[in-house]
Amino acid sequence: MFAMKTYRKELWFNAPARMHFTNITPDVRECLLASGIKEGLILVNAMHITASVFINDDESGLHHDYKVWLEALAPHEPLSHYHHNNTGEDNADAHIKRQIMGREVVVAVTSGKLDFGPWEQIFYGEFDGRRKKRVLVKIIGE
């Protein structure tokens, strides 16, 4: 019988633009290696309500399409379009974009590796960027 282990790490990012996607797969792989866990699950979640973690292909055309699509669904301006911005904030659109793209992902760990399908990568999605924010990596298993 094996004892279950846990591992926790916060990854910090400062996106260079208001909306930006960062491939964090290498960071998550480093966490998995450091954990020593060979079989289990990894939870990766954005710890800010205007950011996202999602899985998809690392292809620049797709990322461009996401940005255009998200901006069409929840445009940043006019700021007066959103009641949330009446509080002095200017990021109501970022909250909506996060809701669309999701808060977290869970990935299986098999034989000490991320158990991905073809082309899958983990991304940090920022929708109110240019300031420091964090992502939680939590790994459980044996």
> What's the mean pLDDT in 5-30?
98
Q: Are 97 and 18 in contact (CB under 8 A)?
A: no
Report pTM: 0.95
* Assigned token pair, 139: 């790994």
pLDDT band of residue 1 (cuts 50, 70, 90) is: low
Closest CA to 28 of 139, 119, 142: 139
d(CA 24, CA 46): 12
Quote the mean pLDDT of the chain: 97
| Sequence-separated (6 or more) residues with CB below 8 Å from residue 81 | 75, 92
pLDDT band of residue 74 (cuts 50, 70, 90) is: very high
Closest CA to 74 of 18, 8, 10: 18
* Percentage, residues of the chain above pLDDT 90: 98
d(CA 113, CA 44): 15
Residue-wise pLDDT tens digits, 80-114: 999 999 999 999 999 999 999 999 999 999 999 99
Helix axes 92-101, 60-73, angle to 10 degrees: 130
The answer, yes or no, to whether residue 118 has pLDDT greater than 70, is yes
The yes/no answer on whether domain 9-141 falls in CATH 2.60.120.460 is yes
pLDDT band of residue 3 (cuts 50, 70, 90) is: confident
